[in-house]
Structure 1
């Protein structure tokens, strides 16, 4: 039943097409046959590889291959403890990856849960409740306020029906529904004669024919998009994979060359093989996976303190690479609480401060003075009409005000409270005794109230300006006097307010009314216009500053929303995304505009535009893909079901913790607990710090690995004795990685981190300057260790003593070099010794370990070491200090950001 034309057909044509009955529905027998034919009304379960394949996939990575080889080699050398540590690191990474992948797949299950409900259907002329899974195409479905729509339904009857479609379309206010035939080209968000599975009925009642169930619904289409969206590798994992591949090749080549040279020079095969193994063990950075995991975990903890919860650990680093943020409007950049911004009366205009449904704020007249209804009578009646002619309720819970009802009515209650008219007081003084309810045809609501002070009655009304003007024969002055209606002035005021993206409702009243004349037929021409209330879902307090900070950091912010273009542009202008001429410059595009764009013009248009309004889930997904194809690292925010495919496709998907659907949260990599765009900017800052610290660790660890490998290679080339043994190399690598290198994960963020542009996605993990520095330190290690080893042997030291001195030299150089690596550009002296106290603790720990390795007999036997003299320690520290000075000189000479 994947037919997308039902909105363009008359209701009776849809009934005939689906062979149903608009009054009696399907017969029970026919419903059973269709259930067997079309299947249950559920979304299909997620598909994918089996459990074993998903487990094995976690080991498919070049760096993991290197570690597995390292583990096997160390096991072959009987270094079972070291081998166990390496295999434990591999297993830990695999478990983390498996768990994260499993959590990501629950997005599809969240979508399936949205359609599990109870449906009211008419079968054989009788209304009954059935599980929504038993609904079939052709069923006559009945919906009413508070219920969830169980399938895609073409309306045949509707009475005051309004539906909250925000989760599906991004529309910020409930949509009025009717059975009117629409143009076939009408987008999903504007199909007012259709109800869609998973949306919520907020008011009224309706009935319609189920035209699509299960996977054929709009929700099912989004389900397919979520399943098809590719979970992209993060910039870090991509760079590490490339780095690991190169490292693997280099290690294998060097090991093979070492073995070949040794054999050619006539050394024993076993001895030469042992040397080649020692080279491979030395060159493998065993601590790198642990460093990556722990550094990311620390980033997760830091972000959690800043109200950003990470669901996929690599997303921490991805934030630091972000070049474009595609943000949803409602609830992310805005409060998601409609707020009256301006109140217009025939004589005055009042600005309203404060946002949301709380009572903070006030009304100010043109002179800036606080205004109340006690002095401005037209203002009093305007606020009274908004609060009294109102079905919404504001409730306080969890430290915030929440709305039960329509957002526009909630805004009117809130502004009345700011003007001194609380909803309970209005109800007590003016209890309602009659109602003409709002409908899509009527476009207004009117209520009859009893005045407890006078015993008389009054009428209050609100609605679309044109319809309210039709009910009015006069307008109210500031002092409460009545004068002739000036429709031109009213419409001019509406036009000016609407041009700013404000939603405008008119209010009217009849202070002394005849209860018997309160009918829809008698009301026109009898009321008095009291004013206009112009409202908007206002930007969050920190949104403009956050957008500005992102711009300073070189990050482009784009708004992608299902709301109307005028509303989106108004919010964008207020937070600095657009200037006054933005719309004329093509910076605001609608879904229809995107559809009309030829393929060759699409990428350029997407780059140029800053606001995308009224877009469908497929268009959101395509926008993200188009940006990624142009080399951008895209962060996408969202809260609705319609955002889930794009959240899954983005390099990092960001969902809202308070107002977001479970589907959006499950599809995302990160959840904002405060739903605030400013938190994204803070998370980007943390992400950049994480990447910096990872780079610092790599720059710190590689010289040791290279130096160890080259020392072995030089020994083979010279036909000399190995200065260090494989077990000693493992000691150096594993202890220094834990006690020294991992301390860089706690390094504070450097100043100005958000003043520099994002990293170029094409930029390699290590720049040329950093590679030169790594080679420089490696060369110093090789030269220093050979000189020291030769010197110690020449002065009569035993072979274990000389090797112990060489081992301690490697560790001492790493220790001094660690302080230099706290910043890749700034001098270690400028950072201070105690800026990272974890490093001090690590230095003390490593020093204790080296003294134990050197002087404890048990350690001497285990690692073939021996005590060394005080003079040897002076030579070790001298070479380490010289290395630190050379690195400092290298930094000073370059004077460039790496």
Structure 2
């Protein structure tokens, strides 16, 4: 019996209960607990047994609803109930074309919703694919390449540069190992790994003794012990989080559902009441039923879902021009209601291009202008161009950064890109800003030998020939100071090394979020052709420091300021270190808790100690979260949503998937984003730039405004139509409009008039106002009052003219045609009032939206066909009108326009006086 079989329970207990603690165990402890010899690996017999116990190294697909159920659920909405009712009503009326059109709208909306939800579920499939790979393992004492799905806990895997970790691995041996964990942790640079145990409570980004599934080895070699597979890996836990994240309704859909539910019961109630009243009067049941049907048709806003879909689609088109691709239509409106943006740091708020910003050499401090990899800028001292000839230490420090360097900067299609390590690329760019050219220097001082960077020694060294052979070194400050005995002075002479002064300068640079590298040199002997650690162990000459950072985007800083002015909180959630994150956040201008004038960053380790009850308060006050684990991002989003916040969340990595799906609107990066992030998101930025989010929010607000304008425009018509039919019932008179005429008005005016509001430009100051409160109803009290006003004006003008025409001897068909045309004309005039819900039309410009006039012209033309063509007369029961009848109808429309304009003007002036008086009250207070 093998040792593995004797200790079988220990494996099960540890793997299931202490999965988070592998990083805190020494390599030998981990090997003993999983009963494996690192030189032999598992036997095939043991692999088979463990595969039976743990299953395959794949992520379990959660059972999803069938496609049919998912499709049918799209009809489970109050507004859809109303449209289905309208479909049945028009079908009963024999209006087969109109019935088909309305049902077509329902079907199209349902298909779009079905497609969107199906795409959202693709995030989990993308996660599963991220784990499919080959793995090199040690089994039965031999190396084998197997499918990663066959791995089991206890397998010994061998990794080298370019390999993807096939499971969660405890490192047993590591040589100069660097791993790109950006997709999982958000860390902006490759992480140096080692085998030493770390603290049990260290967050994911600080578990340097571990390698995680789906991350990639960028440098070095390693031997690892598989400790978690499949669903128990960190990426597997993310899949579980994505599956459990809620699909939230948007603010608009919530309000429309509430409004539609209320409208549904009002329509059914009124129709039932009318039917009952007429039936009790002894009216013919068939006529009574048709009257109830007419009332239902008049009250149903058939054009609302069409308008919502088209307005959102146009918003998608506008946002695409501002580099934001919308994957789900409702995201357009959600952006307009957003009041918190949780943004990643690297590439979104920053350039994602390391840039040297400060240099200290020869005891003097310099600043470097210019951002990113483009070599535009200069070395300055006291805002004046620095003279290299006046400081030999500065010249040598820049040369060391350029020559002790394995990366290159190249221009491709107008873009400057780094081939190699971004840190080394930043050093070359700094040297080029001082006028150095790499090829020229390498011709003068060709490289003879090099010591590559090793984590054990924390430096790189290169030997260069030429007239004055020299060894240049770059590395950590500690490694350089330990080996230096002298410092190069500005004159070129060597002087005493003031280590304390240098350490003070390093602390200052680090407090500003700069990553600091130190540089040194050593004169080489003539004819020396190789360099090793013995040559560089002591007596080096210290040259200086270069401090670099991934600088904030200028446009992102402006966008953040604009968002904050618009009442939108911006929070940074990043996998980077707290000091760097806080420094960047301060430069960008984020607002949050401060200490000694500096923004305070809450780390992932601190979040672990904060309970769910206290978290919402802390999240509200904090602007920066650093070293955050994937599940903590999800927790932060939920904490904000518990305060009724509408949250937009950006992300690009696998780790961002759950938070992107949970957020009210998930925003993925188009350039650096993983498939998982994109599939879980509602919107994708094509330029990975925060300023594009601000632009999308602005467009979203404009779309929401226009949707509100459409609703405020269309409801008075439905109200007026319902009231005129109810009045006819109360007075026991003839119907002023036939059901088919009601349908004609509702459908044609929605398309030809209401949809022209889609093209209404954004109103001035749209980003100067706070976000719309989440508890604010779709229609405010003021808008409800205006809706009632216009609805009653439509009732009075249409029914008054109806009675007048009958009194003048007009036929019923003529009188009904007059009523139908009154609604069309009044809606046309009222459309001008609805171009702004607050400002008088003179303030927004009469001709800033010419589409309104095109729509009115088209509506009048179509209505003329309705009135004067025999075919339409036969189809809709209409009749030709004379000139005086048309004049009276236009007069009714002009009267409504005038009254509403006066009401808006009064409200606008009162609001302006209130705003003007507010500062005075504040001063008195």
TM-score (norm 2): 0.94
Describe the superposition over 1:636-694 as per-residue Cα deviations: whole angstroms up to 9, x where unpaired. 11111111111111101111111222211111111111111111111111000000000
- Give yes or no for the alignment of 1:554 onto 2:587: no
Report the 3-state secondary structure (helix = DSSP H, G, I; strand = E; otherwise coil) of the residue aligned with 1:58. Answer: helix
Task: State the match for 1:87 in structure 2.
Answer: 103
Partner of 1:449: 464
Matched, 1:205 2:221: yes
The answer to whether structure 1 residue 401 and structure 2 residue 416 are counterparts is yes
CA distance in 1, matches of 2:596, 2:235: 32
Instruction: Please state how far the C-alpha of 1:376 moved relative to its aligned partner.
Output: 3.3
Query: Does the alignment pair 1:420 with 2:420?
Result: no
CA RMSD of aligned residues (A): 1.7
Supply the distance in 2 between the matched residues of 1:116 and 1:430 (Cα, whole angstroms): 47
* Cα distance change of structure 1 residues 838 and 812 upon mapping to structure 2, 3 Å threshold: same
Q: What is the rounded CA distance, in whole Å, between the counterparts of 1:128 and 1:424 in structure 2?
A: 44
Structure 1 residues 487, 829: closer, same or farther in 2, change over 3 A? closer
1:857-877, Cα deviation, whole Å (9 max, x unpaired)? 000000001101111111101
2:231 matches 1:218: no
Name the CA distance, whole Å, in 2 between partners of 1:888 and 1:587.
51
Structure 2 residue corresponding to 1:111, chosen from 121, 127, 132: 127
Cα distance in 2 for residues equivalent to 1:371 and 1:292: 63
Residues 593 and 600 in structure 2, CA contact (< 8 A), matched pair in contact too = no
> Per-residue CA shift, 1:688-742, capped at 9, x if unaligned?
0000000000000000011111111111111110000000001000000000001
- 1:157 aligns with one of 169, 173, 181: 173
Aligned: 1:431 with 2:446? yes
Secondary structure of the structure 2 residue equivalent to 1:330: coil
SS in structure 1 at match of 2:346:
helix
Q: For residue 491 of structure 1, what is the aligned residue in structure 2?
A: 503
Write out aligned runs for 1:146-545 (5 A). 146-372=162-388, 376-397=391-412, 399-451=414-466, 454=467, 457-513=469-525, 515=528, 518-545=531-558
Could you say which residue in structure 1 is the equivalent of 2:833?
820
Deviations 1:495-548, CA, capped at 9 Å, x for gaps: 111121111110111243463783313422222111101011100111221111
Paired with 1:578 and 1:777, the residues of 2 have a C-alpha distance of 45
When residues 760 and 457 of structure 1 are mapped into structure 2, their CA distance, relative to the original with a 3 A threshold, is same
Q: After TM superposition, give the deviation of residue 317 of structure 1 in Å.
A: 0.6
Tell me the secondary structure at the aligned position of residue 121 of structure 2.
helix
- How far does residue 391 in structure 1 lie from its aligned partner after superposition? 2.5
Q: Tell me if structure 1 keeps the 8 A contact 2:573–2:628.
A: yes
Partner-residue secondary structure (3-state), 1:15:
helix
The aligned residue for residue 757 of structure 1 is 770
- Superposed, 1:732-771 pairs within 5 Å as 732-771=745-784
Matches within 5 A, 1:661-810: 661-810=674-823
Match of 1:70 in 2: 86
- 1:81 Cα offset (Å): 0.8
Shift of 1:445: 1.5
**Which of 392-401 and 740-749 deviates more?**
392-401
Name stretches of at least 5 consecutive residues in structure 2 with no aligned partner.
1-14, 913-925
2 CA distance for matches of 1:267 and 1:580?
Answer: 73
Tell me: CA distance 1:517–1:130, structure 2 relative to 1, closer, same or farther (3 Å). Answer: closer
Deviation at 1:242, TM superposition (A): 0.4
Contact kept, 8 Å, 2:458 with 2:475, in 1: the verdict is: yes
Contact 1:334 1:539 in 2 (8 A): yes
Distance (whole Å) between structure 2 residues aligned to residue 724 and residue 108 of structure 1: 54
TM-aligned CA deviation for residue 299 of structure 1: 0.5
Shift of the 364–803 alpha-carbon distance from structure 1 to 2, 3 Å rule, reads: same
Q: CA deviation at 1:44?
A: 2.2
Distance 2:143 2:188 in 1: 33
Deviation at 1:744, TM superposition (A): 0.4
Secondary structure of the 1:332 match is: coil
Tell me which residue corresponds to 1:37: 53
Q: Does 1:636 align with 2:652?
A: no
Question: For structure 1, which segment, 256-265 or 125-134, has the greater mean C-alpha deviation from structure 2 after superposition?
Answer: 125-134
Q: Residue 289 of structure 1: CA displacement?
A: 0.3
Alignment counterpart, residue 865 of structure 2, candidates 843, 846, 852: 852
Following TM superposition, by how much is the alpha carbon of 1:439 offset from its aligned partner in structure 2, in angstroms? Answer: 2.3
Q: Give the corresponding residue for 2:923.
A: none
2:24 maps to 1:12: no
Task: Report the 3-state secondary structure (helix = DSSP H, G, I; strand = E; otherwise coil) of the residue aligned with 1:47.
Answer: coil
The structural deviation recorded for 1:766 is 0.3
**Unpaired segments ≥5 residues, structure 1:** none
Following the alignment from structure 1 to structure 2, what is the Cα–Cα distance between the partners of residues 897 and 605? 36
1:106 Cα deviation from its structure 2 partner: 1.3
1:40-55 alignment, distance < 5 Å:
40-55=56-71
Say if 2:78 and 2:260, in contact at 8 Å, map to a contact too.
yes
CA distance 1:586–1:418, shift in 2 (3 Å):
closer
The whole-number CA distance in structure 2 between the counterparts of 1:702 and 1:398 is: 54
Q: Which residue of 2 aligns with 1:567?
A: 580
Are the structure 2 counterparts of residues 396 and 18 from structure 1 closer, same or farther at C-alpha, using a change threshold of 3 Å?
farther
The alpha carbon displacement at 1:422 in A equals 3.4
Describe the SS at the equivalent of 2:309. Answer: helix
Query: Partner of 1:130: helix, strand, or coil?
Result: strand
The answer to whether the 8 Å contact 2:582/2:600 transfers is no
Alpha-carbon distance between aligned partners in 1 of 2:485 and 2:529, rounded to the nearest angstrom: 19
Between 1:546-555 and 1:30-39, the stretch displaced more is: 30-39
Between 404-413 and 714-723, report the one with greater CA deviation. 404-413
Deviation at 1:107, TM superposition (A): 1.3
**Which digits, 9 at most, give the CA deviation of each residue in 1:840-898, with x for residues without a partner?**
11111111110000000000000001101111111101111111111111112222679
Would you say the 8 A contact 2:593–2:621 is kept in 1?
Answer: no
Distance 1:582 1:98 in 2: 49
Contact 1:517 1:523 in 2 (8 A): no
Pairwise CA distance, 1:31: 2.5
Which deviates further from its counterpart, 493-502 or 395-404? 395-404
CA drift of 1:457 comes to: 2.8
Inter-partner Cα distance in structure 1 for 2:599 and 2:188: 24
CA gap of 1:421–1:125, structure 2 versus 1, over 3 A, is farther
Q: Report the Cα offset of residue 435 of structure 1.
A: 2.4
Q: Distance in 1 between matches of 2:630 and 2:98?
A: 51
Q: 1:579 to 1:829 in 2, by over 3 A?
A: closer
Any residues of structure 2 matched to 1:827-846 within 5 Å, and which? 827-846=840-859
- In structure 2, how many angstroms separate the alpha carbons of the residues matched to 1:880 and 1:580? 56
1:617 matched to 2:661? The reply is no
Larger displacement relative to structure 2 (119-128 or 741-750): 119-128
Where 2:373 maps in the other structure, the secondary structure is coil
Q: C-alpha displacement at 1:395, in angstroms?
A: 4.1
Map Cα deviations across residues 582-616 of structure 1 (whole Å, 9 max, x no partner). Answer: 47788421112222224432221111111111111
The one-character-per-residue Cα deviations of 1:344-384 (angstroms, maximum 9, x if unpaired) are 10232221111222212221123511444x55321221122
TM-score between both structures, scaled by the size of structure 1: 0.97
SS for the counterpart of 1:548 is: helix
Partner of 1:144: 160
Aligned to 2:915: none
